[in-house]
Each structure stands twice: as structure tokens, then as C-alpha cells.
């Protein structure tokens, strides 16, 4: 019997969002801003449509920048340009362009998130969701409430429309998993955890100034995973064993300070 | 030496897989992205990237695929083949930008089968127009070739002589066949069905792109003296060799159009094609000579119908 095992560490985040608009899908009829559809066509119609939540990696990126700035450490900015063509400065104080520190004097953010020159140490698993209203047990996707917010407004005393568009939103609990592709130092782990805790201060997706994109963190755990795949009568069977590393997490937090 | 085996691993794409093509070669194994595991349809394509004013634009725009993935490798050595394919079983992601969550795979099936190579059909030789007729053709075949080469130089129900001048054909059977090759009537003439068949088949092969012309030939590039042309053909009507040679080298006939609706096809090519098709069929045994009579055998009614429909 064929058996393949793989051992790795990961960070598992369980969070809730009251309302978020990570719409990045096709725009149907030019009016509704959709989520990115990733369902598999005709055969998977029983499973229901699956969508991809975008923007969580970028949210962590920005919270890392904020945490570093609080502590007075210079890290990479999300942009790799210093100024525009007209000479307008893009970089705020305390940052350098993305990837400029590599390979000499590599900053802590670049060590974790990488840039165009270097692959990231963290592999973000896609957050795939389906509608919670579907009573489907077979699907591997996470279940969330998915709906459309329609915004119409007319000019007073006339039928002329100022706004006529819709935005898809999601709400509910979801889990975000980050796989560590390499072993990271305790300081880096502490920095990573600190920036995860800073994530609720920012917002992800669209309409953040209107109250969307809030995150409520419920659980953050560093885990060691042993994943095995076996083949039984031509079918691939997958099993996972997880172990929480609370002690290592505490050491990391204290190392960052 | 062991038996040739094909090792297959199949999985479902959970998040869009970034790749420029749906078929990727990695070492000795092939990764094919398909829409469905049962049928080999093309996968669904989606574009990802930042939306700017409702559109995805470069440099963030990326081509991705959704559907299923099938990894195959063919090997005689069972151990090596299994090792190559099971490398993929330890992978959770395929394609580019995997750290951002793209290309996640859920493996489903694995199987090993005996590899049976499909026998490929030998490639058909391209038909070439002969530079001249071969030696020692039977007289019956020569007569048929003469009839084929002369059939468009007489007035029929459908069209007048294509060189404006009618040729007086001395052989009675050939003349009758040429005059009636556009009639629907049945007759006892032996050559008539063969002329009809090759006329339709040749036009079926050459008539691809319609091009309407108003003139039978390009008179701007100099006039053709058709009387002389008719005389030259008339003189050579008794010999298939002489007639074929004359048509092959004739510059006038290359300028004359075979059909007014297909202006790119020349009369010379049409006549030569008919002759060459008939000779090839004779060598293959489709055109048979029995008791000094020439006939075609084994023409499917379906193909005959489709050819005649398309030719008309």
C-alpha cells in the first residue's frame, strides 16, 4: 500500500466578520460587484457555487507595516516605487520600497512575506466559501452567509438615478490557514503573531469606511500537522493529525516583546 | 523488459490554477487540466487580477483554469513510474503563485493500467499532377482519359464550350458522353457515368473558396485566340498522350476559369486533376476493364450523393 506523509507547521486563525465586501469577481451587467467565482461548472452544481475570499494576505501585509512602524523598525512598504512620474512621493517615513533591502540587510517583513525577488515563507491556503443556505454535506468549502446589497438613490423629485449598483457581501465565521514553508525564528514568529493581533484594527475588502471589512479574532494557534495520504482501491484517502504548540507560541511572543 | 504501463493520478482544482496552457510537461510526466474527468473537454478559463474601472489589466491580470487535473506518466519500470507519479501526491498546490492560495488540489483517484499504443493511420500521399502519362496504358483507359479531357469543350445543357469554340469530337461514344454529362437522363453509354463522377469529384476537391468573376479569362493580360486553341485540341484528340501534354503545358488554359463562381480555379487544373484521379483509381482497382468495357465499382451512394450535392 502506498503511503505518503508530510510534517509541517501552520498558523490557524479562526475569525468572524459581521460584513465584508471582498468583491473581485466578474461584474454582471455592469451593476453588481461579485465575489470571485471558482465553482467547477456543470458537474458541481449540486455542490453549489464556491467563491474565493480575497484580501486577507494584503491585510496581514499592512498590519505588519503598522506594527513595525509602532516599534520604529524600518520595513518594506507594499509598493515598490518611491515616487510617481510627476515627482510626488509615495513612500511614508520609516519604509523602503518593497524588495529594496534584499539580499543585504533583509528586513523582518521581507523575510516572512517575500517579494518579486524571493518567495514568501508563508503559504496562505485559499479561503473558499459557499452559501450557508445550501444544505450540502459533501462540500469541503466553508459555509458563510452570502448576499447582495443593492444601492439605489434618485434625484429628489425626479426619476433620474444617481446610484444604481449592487455589492456582494459575506458574513459569518471563517478560518484562515498559513503554512510555514521554512522554519522561522522566534522573533519572526512573535512579529507575525503581533501583526495578526493588529489585523482587526484595519479592514479588508471594500467599503471599509462605511463599516464593512471588520474582523473579530476568535482563535490563533500554532500547530504541527502530520498529513498522510494513502491509496486504497484506487481512491486517495487523506488524514491529518494536529498538535497545538502553545509553549512555542509563548516563547515567540516574549522574543518580540 | 516489463510491460509498458501508464500511471494516472487525478484531482480536483479547488482554487484557480495559474498556467499559460492547460497541458504542462514536467520531466517525464504530463499534467493535463480538463473540465470533467469522464470527458476530455477544455477547462473553464477565468481571469484574475486587480479590477481597475471594471476591467482586469496587466500586469496583475493572469490566466487561470478551473476543473480537474490529470497527471500521467508512462514507464516500463514499475518502481520508477510509481515514484515519479507519487511525487505529486505529496503536493497540495500546482502552478504559479501558490503562496497566495492559487492552484490548490484535492487528489481523488490513482490507477495503473497497461499502456496500449494506438496505431496511427499512415499519412496519405498528396496528389500530384503527373508531368506526363505513363507508358502502356490500356486502350480503354486511354479512351476514357481522352473523354475526360474533352468534356468541357462542347456545348451542354448547363454551359456552352468553355473556350467559346466547339470542338467536333470524332468518336461517337465520347461525343455523346461529353454532350450529355450535365443531363440527368440515363443512357447506355459506358463513359457517361464515369465522366459525371470525376467531373463532380474534381470540382468537389478544388471548390473551396467562392470567388465570383464576370469574365471567363483575364483579357487585360492579352487576348486568347480560341479558334487556334480549339484547332490545336482538335488535332490531338486521337491521342491521350499528346492531348495531356498539350493541356499540361498550355498557358492559355491556365488563364481560363473552370467555373464563374470559383474564379481562382483554372480549367487546366480541373482537367488534369480528373485525369490523375482516374489513373490513380485504375491502379487501386476502382476503375476496372472487363470485356473491353471500362466501369467504376464500389462507389458508396452516400459519398456519391454528398459529392454531387456539393458540386451543384
| ipTM value for the complex | 0.87
Interchain proximity B67–A114, CB inside 8 Å: no
- What confidence tens digit (pLDDT) does each residue in B114-156 have? 988 877 888 888 888 999 998 889 999 999 999 999 999 999 9
User: Closest-CA residue in chain B for A180?
Assistant: B99
Reply yes or no on whether the pLDDT at B297 is more than 90: no
Q: Is residue B271 part of a domain?
A: yes
* Residue B292 confidence class, pLDDT cut points 50, 70, 90: confident
Nearest 10 degrees: Cα torsion B73, B74, B79, B83: -10
Top residue of A55, A126, A181, A226 to mutate, by most chain B CBs within 10 Å, is A126
Q: Of A177, A191, A172, A206, nearest to A55 (Cα)?
A: A206
| Whole-number pLDDT of residue B49 | 82
Q: For residue B272, which phi and psi values (nearest 5 degrees)?
A: -65, -35
Do both B254 and B157 map to the same domain?
yes
Contact status, residue A166 vs residue A29, Cβ threshold 8 Å: no
Distance CA B116, CA B127 (A): 33
- Which chain A residues touch B15 with a CB distance below 8 Å? 38, 52, 126, 128
> What does the block give as the cell for B59?
500586469
The tens-digit pLDDT sequence of chain A (257 residues) is 678 899 999 999 999 999 998 877 665 566 677 777 777 555 556 677 888 888 899 999 999 999 999 999 999 998 888 888 898 888 888 899 998 898 889 999 999 999 988 999 999 999 988 888 877 666 778 889 988 888 888 888 888 888 887 888 999 999 999 999 999 999 999 999 999 999 999 988 888 888 888 999 999 999 999 999 999 888 999 999 999 999 999 999 898 87
Do both B109 and B143 map to the same domain?
no
Do both B91 and B187 map to the same domain?
no
Top residue of B110, B111, B112 to mutate, by most chain A CBs within 10 Å, is B110
Number of domains in chain B: 2
Q: Is residue B129 part of a domain?
A: no
| Whole-number pLDDT of residue B312 | 52
- What confidence tens digit (pLDDT) does each residue in B187-204 have? 888 888 899 999 999 999
Interchain proximity A40–B98, CB inside 8 Å: no
Do both B149 and B101 map to the same domain?
no
Interchain proximity A236–B107, CB inside 8 Å: yes
Query: Across the A/B interface, how many CB contacts are shorter than 8 Å?
Result: 85
| Whole-number pLDDT of residue B44 | 85
Q: Is residue B128 part of a domain?
A: no
Q: Is residue B280 part of a domain?
A: yes
Q: Is residue B180 part of a domain?
A: yes
Do both B208 and B291 map to the same domain?
yes
Distance CA A257, CA A236 (A): 45
Q: Are strands A75-76 and A95-96 parallel, antiparallel or unpaired?
A: parallel
Do both B302 and B165 map to the same domain?
yes
User: Closest-CA residue in chain A for B83?
Assistant: A2
Interchain proximity A30–B54, CB inside 8 Å: yes
Domain that holds residue B19: 5-114
Top residue of B93, B100, B105 to mutate, by most chain A CBs within 10 Å, is B100
Q: Is residue B121 part of a domain?
A: no
Amino acid at each position: 500500500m502506498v503511503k505518503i506523509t508530510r510534517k509541517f507547521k501552520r498558523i490557524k486563525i479562526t475569525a468572524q466578520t459581521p460584513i465584508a465586501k471582498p468583491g473581485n469577481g466578474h461584474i454582471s451587467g455592469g451593476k453588481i460587484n461579485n465575489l470571485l467565482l471558482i465553482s467547477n461548472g456543470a458537474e458541481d452544481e449540486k455542490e453549489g457555487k464556491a467563491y474565493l475570499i480575497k484580501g486577507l494576505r494584503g491585510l496581514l501585509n499592512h498590519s505588519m507595516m503598522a506594527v513595525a512602524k509602532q516599534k520604529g523598525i524600518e520595513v518594506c512598504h507594499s509598493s515598490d516605487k518611491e515616487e510617481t512620474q510627476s515627482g510626488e512621493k509615495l513612500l511614508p517615513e520609516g519604509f523602503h520600497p518593497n524588495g529594496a533591502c534584499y539580499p543585504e540587510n533583509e528586513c523582518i517583513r521581507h523575510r516572512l512575506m517575500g517579494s518579486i525577488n524571493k518567495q514568501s515563507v508563508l503559504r496562505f491556503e485559499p479561503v473558499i466559501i459557499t452559501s450557508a443556505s445550501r444544505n450540502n454535506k459533501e462540500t469541503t468549502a466553508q459555509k458563510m452567509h452570502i448576499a447582495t446589497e443593492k444601492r439605489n438613490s434618485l434625484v429628489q423629485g425626479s426619476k433620474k438615478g444617481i446610484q444604481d449598483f449592487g455589492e456582494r457581501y459575506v458574513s459569518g465565521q471563517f478560518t484562515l490557514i498559513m503554512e510555514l514553508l521554512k522554519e522561522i525564528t522566534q522573533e519572526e514568529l512573535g512579529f507575525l503573531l503581533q501583526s495578526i493581533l493588529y489585523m482587526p484594527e484595519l479592514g479588508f475588502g471594500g467599503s471599509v469606511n462605511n463599516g464593512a471589512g471588520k474582523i473579530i479574532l476568535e482563535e490563533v494557534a500554532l500547530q504541527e500537522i502530520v498529513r498522510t495520504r494513502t491509496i486504497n482501491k484506487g481512491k486517495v484517502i487523506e488524514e491529518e493529525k494536529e498538535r497545538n504548540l502553545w509553549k512555542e507560541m509563548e516563547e515567540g511572543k516574549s522574543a518580540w516583546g | 523488459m516489463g510491460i509498458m504501463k501508464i500511471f494516472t493520478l487525478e484531482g480536483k482544482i479547488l482554487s484557480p490554477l495559474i498556467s499559460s496552457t492547460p497541458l504542462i510537461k514536467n520531466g517525464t510526466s504530463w499534467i493535463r487540466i480538463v473540465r470533467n474527468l469522464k470527458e476530455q473537454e477544455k477547462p473553464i478559463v477565468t481571469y484574475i487580477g486587480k479590477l481597475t474601472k471594471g476591467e482586469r489589466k496587466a500586469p496583475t491580470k493572469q490566466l487561470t483554469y478551473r476543473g480537474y487535473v490529470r497527471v500521467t506518466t508512462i514507464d516500463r519500470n514499475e518502481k520508477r513510474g510509481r515514484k515519479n507519479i507519487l511525487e505529486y501526491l505529496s503536493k497540495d498546490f500546482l502552478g504559479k503563485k501558490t503562496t497566495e492560495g492559487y492552484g490548490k488540489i484535492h487528489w481523488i483517484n490513482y490507477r495503473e493500467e497497461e499502456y496500449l499504443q494506438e496505431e496511427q493511420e499512415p499519412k496519405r500521399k498528396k496528389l500530384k499532377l503527373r508531368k506526363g502519362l505513363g507508358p502502356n496504358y490500356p486502350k480503354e483507359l486511354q479512351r476514357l482519359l481522352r473523354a475526360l479531357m474533352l468534356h468541357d469543350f462542347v456545348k451542354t445543357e448547363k454551359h456552352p464550350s468553355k473556350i467559346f469554340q466547339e470542338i467536333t469530337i470524332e468518336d461517337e461514344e465520347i461525343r455523346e458522353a461529353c454532350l450529355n454529362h450535365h443531363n440527368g437522363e440515363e443512357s447506355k453509354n459506358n463513359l457517361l457515368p464515369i465522366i459525371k463522377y470525376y467531373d463532380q469529384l474534381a470540382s468537389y476537391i478544388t471548390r473551396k473558396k467562392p470567388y465570383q468573376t464576370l469574365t471567363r479569362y483575364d483579357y487585360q493580360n492579352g487576348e486568347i485566340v480560341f479558334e487556334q486553341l480549339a484547332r490545336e485540341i482538335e488535332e490531338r484528340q486521337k491521342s491521350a498522350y499528346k492531348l495531356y501534354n498539350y493541356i499540361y503545358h498550355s498557358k492559355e488554359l491556365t488563364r481560363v476559369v473552370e467555373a464563374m463562381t470559383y474564379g481562382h480555379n483554372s480549367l487546366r487544373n480541373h482537367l488534369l486533376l480528373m485525369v490523375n484521379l482516374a489513373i490513380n483509381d485504375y491502379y487501386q482497382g476502382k476503375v476496372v476493364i472487363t470485356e473491353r468495357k471500362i466501369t467504376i465499382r464500389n462507389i458508396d451512394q452516400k459519398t456519391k450523393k454528398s459529392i454531387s450535392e456539393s458540386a451543384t
